[in-house]
Chains A and B, each alone.
Chain A
């Protein structure tokens, strides 16, 4: 029996078509995975069902739930349905909670607003719901900033399921979380669906997440559902071309032609970095945060070294130290035999290491043209023919020389990341630090960027330090990998060996928590060749 039946849902915003003919059924107690890349209309579909679309939105079609058409209801009736019959959780747990109100208050509010309980009764029920989502240790008077991302997402879930809604919509609920936290949250959602006989509409870009959780899958592209069906069947057959592309890209293995030499390029020996935290008592000792404790490793010329670990493990601090942006309390870092020290790096040394960051939107000054952005590192190593060099760097990363006269907002996320790579390449560094450089990209774009990086490495003999929380990507593109936990490198070795035969308990946890598509669902893939 269908709980929700969407027929021919269409949407325009200020006249721009966003959704076109979206239809699907969601049976009671089942999980439907809605998969697609950014901009495909996944989130807009969910907001249309909730009646929370932005200004200028025009919907058409029908969405039947319990004999009512959600799209035809007035605002008053929708307020009665939101939170009561349809619960929703969002991607960003860090900002999804009101920072000035306690978590108990915010969970209880769902109950009070729908008149389900008195104030005192609501608090008791809120306590019960917080216990159910695994926060039994947390007092109700905690504020959101006192919780981690995973804990906040649990609070959001408690809020969404407080009234035991029949339908739960989860929009990228685990995208912002670490892999082990993601596994816990997905388990929690699955448990809730089973216990409460709820239906779950799970929106995600990650095929592996869907493979583990959903009963049915619908694949969206450019505002349409291009293919849908039972999960295993859809994954095995992949009728639509777009599904096949997504599939291939999600497990893309760039062709790498690397010859790491025995010559050490970057050496880190006994690096220690700790921060002094504010005192707890007026005259007590100031506590220390040990971000990096006694880390040593060597990166050889022409090698790709992976660094994996969860947020807060010290990856970023270590990266900043390697870039010469962060002083060490003990230990030393040398690049090509020269000492790297914060504040005391000669330009010629600094020119040997460049970095590409995660956010393709935030890492460029929007007022400068691409030529100036890409030419920025030249202050370290001035060159006469700047425009030619910029043109060459743009060609190297697959863009056109004419692009140098454009502004950054004229480019897509993937193109921006190419420009970031061009900027890193322009003074021909030996080492490029890739700090979550592909994490914000859609799978197909990510595959292209990984190919580009592999190609550049082969042609220019670059070394990469590849920092990521995404184990599958690290596995695909590195020669060796280090696993970092709480400021220490707990395991270190050849990538294949570590992934196939992890020795440290933490590495095993990480690998076990990583969602994956069952290998036997992939069988047809070998015959398909690579992606477009």
Chain B
């Protein structure tokens, strides 16, 4: 297990190094002048030159790369060109919205999808199964911004249980924020839950056809006991993979939902960064997201080993 963890950790660090080189190369090295790009076509040459000095673009490529990486390691992500505040502060503020939202949505998705997927698999071919799979099909097909607007219409405008948008901030206490994040989390969770339920069902059905399930039944376990004690854990591996991917996606991919609910999240930050040509923000946020994806992959790998003893020896 120690060997396995160490090897995964090494691969995590290598991935981070490769990712940082690629991001740096794409944004700072390949064609054109970042300063000119940020200022637009009509900028005066003096302004561009000033920005170049400001950004430290006069230095060599290697020096700039190490300055950038070194800065990130010490928490200094540079200054946002448009906001004129440290990028680290911008990101931290947005992360306090996006991270809870992602965890909330994913928690809802898992809590809904796993039982439903298990039920569908255990009753394969029944009306229950057909109903659940039909609903899942619908859940994947419905665009989440439309579903979000529907939620606002019903729960915010008609029933007035939740507000239609906005985020009070964590200094306002715990529950007001949970309340503000509930509708967006539900809107995000629905399609993810639909996908997860389908994966859970097919993984479990495959597991239920395995010989060891027949062995378990021959020992005297009922169908339900065989599912819960023997099939479920074996079926979790593909589910874990998907949950890991969904986490990374939701962290920055919630931009449409963030717009619908006026949430100051990471998705909107990166969108603004791109439209305002604020490369410093883009570069740092992309690196942060890459880090999140790699970290989640690492955690999913550890979870695999926890579920499956065969992986621990590698």
Contact = CB atoms under 8 A, between A and B. Distances in A.
> Is the pairing of A and B real?
yes
Interface residues on B, range: 20 to 34
A143 B216 CA distance: 16
Interface string B1-15: 001001000000000
B215 interface: yes
A82 B309 contact: no
A96 B210 CA distance: 8
Contacts of B221: 79, 83, 109, 113
Nearest to A143: B309
A505 interface: no
B310 interface: yes
Nearest to A91: B211
A75 B225 CA distance: 13
B82 interface: no
A100 B233 contact: yes
The 4 A-B pairs at the shortest CB distance, nearest first, are namely A83-B220, A83-B219, A95-B211, A88-B218
20 contacts: A52-B218, A79-B222, A80-B220, A83-B219, A90-B214, A96-B212, A96-B214, A97-B215, A99-B309, A100-B309, A101-B230, A109-B221, A109-B229, A113-B221, A143-B309, A156-B215, A159-B215, A160-B218, A160-B219, A282-B3
A87 B217 CA distance: 11
Contacts of B309: 99-100, 143, 145
Contacts of B6: 282
A110 B217 CA distance: 10
A113 B229 CA distance: 11
B19 interface: no
Given A90-B211, A90-B214, A282-B3, A99 B310 contact: yes
A215 interface: no
B212 A98 contact: yes
Interface string B179-191: 0000000000000
B212 A50 contact: no
Given A98-B212, A98-B230, 18 more contacts: A50-B218, A55-B125, A79-B222, A82-B218, A82-B219, A83-B219, A87-B218, A90-B215, A90-B218, A95-B210, A95-B211, A95-B212, A98-B216, A99-B212, A113-B220, A113-B225, A143-B310, A145-B310
Nearest to B306: A100
B307 interface: yes
Contacts of B234: 98-100
A419 B175 CA distance: 71
A84 B308 contact: no
A359 interface: no
A234 to B, nearest CB: 29
Nearest to A279: B3
A82 B230 contact: no
Nearest to A92: B211
Contact of B314 (A81, A100, A278): A278
A160 B220 CA distance: 10
A352 B3 CA distance: 46
A114 interface: yes
A163 to B, nearest CB: 9
Interface in A108-162: 109-110, 113-114, 143, 145, 156, 159-160
Interface of A: 50, 52, 55, 75-76, 79-84, 87-88, 90, 92, 95-101, 109-110, 113-114, 143, 145, 156, 159-160, 278, 282
A114 B220 CA distance: 7
B212 A82 contact: no
Contacts of B310: 99, 143, 145
Contacts of A101: 230
A101 B217 CA distance: 16
Contacts of A55: 125
Nearest to B218: A88
A92 B213 CA distance: 13
A100 B214 CA distance: 16
A82 B211 contact: no
B307 A52 contact: no
A100 B307 contact: yes
B214 A52 contact: yes
A476 to B, nearest CB: 32
A82 B217 contact: yes
Contacts of B210: 95
B220 A110 contact: yes
Contacts of B314: 278
Contacts of A282: 3, 6
B230 A84 contact: no
Nearest to B217: A52
B304 to A, nearest CB: 11
B308 A100 contact: yes
A83 B229 contact: no
Contacts of A88: 218
Given A99-B309, A101-B230, A110 B211 contact: no
Contacts of B212: 95-99
A54 B167 CA distance: 55
Interface in B275-314: 307-310, 314
A88 B230 CA distance: 18
A92 B210 CA distance: 11
A88 B221 CA distance: 13
A310 to B, nearest CB: 23
B238 to A, nearest CB: 14
Nearest to B213: A98
Which of A84, A100, A109 is the most central at the interface, judged by chain B CB atoms within 10 Å of its CB?
A100
A80 B218 CA distance: 10
B220 A84 contact: yes
Contacts of A92: 211
A405 B253 CA distance: 51
Contacts of B230: 98, 101
Contacts of B225: 113
B211 A96 contact: yes
Which of B216, B229, B230, B234 is the most central at the interface, judged by chain A CB atoms within 10 Å of its CB?
B216
Interface string B189-229: 00000000000000000000011101111111110010001
A79 B218 contact: no
A278 B3 CA distance: 11
A160 B214 CA distance: 12
A76 B221 CA distance: 10
A421 to B, nearest CB: 31
Interface string B216-252: 1111111001000110011000000000000000000
B35 to A, nearest CB: 47
B219 to A, nearest CB: 4
Contact of A83 (B125, B214, B218, B307): B218
Nearest to B210: A95
B48 to A, nearest CB: 52
Nearest to A85: B220
A470 B307 CA distance: 39
A113 B215 contact: no
Given A98-B230, A98-B234, A79 B211 contact: no
A113 B216 CA distance: 10
Contacts of A110: 219-220
Nearest to B234: A100
A68 B221 CA distance: 20
A156 B310 CA distance: 19
A278 B314 CA distance: 8
Contacts of A145: 309-310
A52 B218 CA distance: 8
Nearest to B2: A282
B218 A99 contact: no
A159 B218 CA distance: 10
